[in-house]
Amino acid sequence: MVQKILLKSLEKELAQMGERIRMARLRRDLSMVLVCERAGVSRPTLTLVEKGSPRVSMAAYASVLKAIGISQDLGLIAKDDTLGRKLQDAKLSKTTRVRASKRTS
């Protein structure tokens, strides 16, 4: 298996996300066993999710979020792509030709 190298900033963000998932589970007073059953994942997988491991599939993360009742947060990913929209607008303004209207004499 090829191990991918992550930027430290990305590792930190994943770890923070895992901690937020863990805290959401604990605030709801859900045991690891119950979340594992609901999500269809093993306890070691849930542990990795709560640590923000990049080795866990997005499907496992999504299943855990669904099991603890916060799967609607997935819909927020890339929802407001402000930078992408600005880049798209800039590209469109460069390629769009502006023509003078035809004059009729």
Question: Domain-by-domain residue ranges, the chain?
Answer: 8-95
What are the C-alpha distances in Å from 59 to residues 29, 47, 72, 89, 103? 23, 15, 14, 33, 60
Amino acid (one-letter) located at 28: R
Q: Per-residue confidence of the chain (105 residues) as pLDDT tens digits?
A: 556 677 899 999 999 999 999 999 999 999 999 999 999 999 999 999 999 999 999 999 999 999 999 988 888 887 888 888 888 888 877 665 666 677 776
CATH T-level assignment (fold) for domain 8-95: 434 Repressor (Amino-terminal Domain) (1.10.260)
Q: Give the pLDDT of residue 14.
A: 94
